[in-house]
Amino acid sequence: MGWNKLISSPQTPGATPWLLRHWDLLLLALFWTGVLLIRIRFLSLPFERDEGEYAYGGQLILDGIPLYRELYTLKWPGTHLSYALILALLGQSIAGVHFGLLLINTAAAAMLYPLARCWLNRPFAVFATASFLTLTLSPAAHGVIANAEHFALLWIVPGLYCLDRGLRRGRSAPCLQAGIFLQAAVVCKQPALMFVIGGCIVCAGAALSDLRCRQGWRNLAAYLAGNGIVGLTLVSLILYWGVWDDFVFWTMTYARDYTSQNSLPLAAWTFYQMLYWVIGGTWPIYVLSVIGLISAAATLPWRSSLTVGSFWLASGAAVATGFYFRPHYFLFAAPVTALLAGFAVQTVADRLQRPTWLRTGWLVGCAASLVFCFFIERLILFRITMPVAIRAIHPGYAFVESPLVGEYLKERLPADGRVFILGSEPQICFYAHRRSATGFIYLYPFFEKHPHQVAMQQRLIDQVEAAKPEYVIVTRTHPFFDPDPNWEGPLLDWIPRFLSGYEQCGIAIAKPEGVSFFDFAPAQPVPLPPAADLILYRRQTPSDQSIPIP
């Protein structure tokens, strides 16, 4: 079923030194080492808010608090559980999480190589693996951030390999494993469901190609059984946690409303903008993948074309889920894009046998294109500091200031103290290792059009008033300070009344160069909307002298 058979050398194994016979693997090892060194440089990159959610969720799990009880999220729990494991093994720190990302990305790339070898000759499988490492490192695609897509890829890549091996060899056990792996990817990030559907299409196509052979149907049944095993495990976990109703509401009811808000014209414009941004640093690989896709459609037998087409469409559908096209969504396309790029290099090289210099120039040029990708993104990858890097990736957010604010709260709040973040910065709760006064760690749902908006606001108000948090954090980068004219609900009127019982105790002001200004004893209150990026409020006691809030 492979695209090409391995071309055996006419020489005996011992005719040339091992280093010369495996020059391509040595180059891959050298390239891989460079990628690892770059990732080590990014170990101290401050968390952005998605990482903050996963880290805070993992922290709650380690403290015995299930998801969906004190942390509301539309995501399934796979990535939160993975974070909990990383935090338990590598420590509850930024560096520990990013070292875990390094290991996960290394494992995914290590499993991509044997998948590529099923379809490509060894030098071109090496190129595909190097392309995957480049795509998943790109700062434009948020590759240096420990997003859920990295954890999903850890399961998608072996799932594709097992499915390919099972169908080629006519064995059901690898198809069962493929179902388990691909469904595990869905538990980490729901858009990976598109790969599950792609696998169903490939298995069904193989079964229908020979109706008299029962093995094809056994493979399909084994694949579906693998998916079912993971699905039942997830349901059992949610029931064990006792949060079934909240799980269904957030990951199904609200998730449906969330993913149906963007219109097609807006989606098309968003896709254009994000595509231009994401492929800007790795466009040579994407160009090669287009060449590879055209070559595959023109040269492969129909069953192989069905496999390629199914998973290419699955990658695109996963990126397009909800029509938001976040940069990190494009990581879903990395495995298929890398494999198609390798196929393009091999196909053209096979057609350029003569003259030799032309074939050599093509291969050298393709290898240089990978190095060129690093040159394009050299500023973030090699030059600027980590505070400036996170500002470049996520401009306008208080991610640099969050660690110091977290330490400030950790020193002053008791272990059971609560904090209310009037914004969407769950990473502060992780840094402080203190629980949020509400399960609404993101306040974006209050500004989206859905039938639950008013009920959510009242639920937040009830939770915060019951928790009586010692500290409140107000963030500047939030639509509370520029609400929609058609706003509905009690929240905007409640906020100033609630803050009247608090006094300002600190401000943080971000600067573009990554250095922040902190003042934990401001002489004058900062007005709302705040001139600072973060404002800290402390609950007043009866003995405190009231400081009016403008």
- Mean pLDDT of the region 140-162: 97
Looking at residue 522, its pLDDT comes to 66
Stretch among 50-54, 58-62, 237-241, 423-427 having the lowest mean pLDDT: 423-427
Q: What is the pLDDT of residue 476?
A: 75
Sign of CA dihedral 114, 118, 119, 122: positive
Residue 483 pLDDT greater than 80, yes or no? no
As a whole number of Å, the CA-based R_g of the chain is 26
**What is the average per-residue pLDDT within 307-322?**
95
- Angle between the 148-169 and 172-188 helix axes, to the nearest 10 degrees? 170
Average pLDDT over residues 177-193: 98
The total of other beta-carbon atoms located within 10 Å of residue 266's CB is 11
**309 close to 158: Cβ distance less than 8 angstroms:** no
φ and ψ at 477, to 5 degrees?
-80, 70
Q: What mean pLDDT comes out for the span 109-126? A: 95
Consecutive H or E run containing 534: strand 534-539
pLDDT above 50 for 333:
yes
pLDDT band at residue 214 using 50, 70 and 90 as cut-offs: confident
Q: Looking at residue 9, what is its pLDDT?
A: 37
Gap between the Cα atoms of 417 and 435, Å rounded: 7
Range with lowest mean pLDDT among 7-11, 239-243, 350-354: 7-11
Amino acid at 526: V
**In which band, very low, low, confident or very high, does the pLDDT at 506 lie, cut at 50, 70 and 90?**
confident
Q: Where are the domains of the chain?
A: 46-256+263-383, 400-539
Task: Return all residues near 175 (Cβ < 8 A) that are at least 6 apart.
Answer: 162, 163, 166, 167, 203, 219, 220, 222, 223, 226
Specify the pLDDT at position 512.
63
How far separated are the first and last CA of the chain, in Å rounded?
Answer: 71
Confidence of residue 355 (pLDDT cuts 50, 70, 90): confident
Write out the two tokens for 319.
């990126």
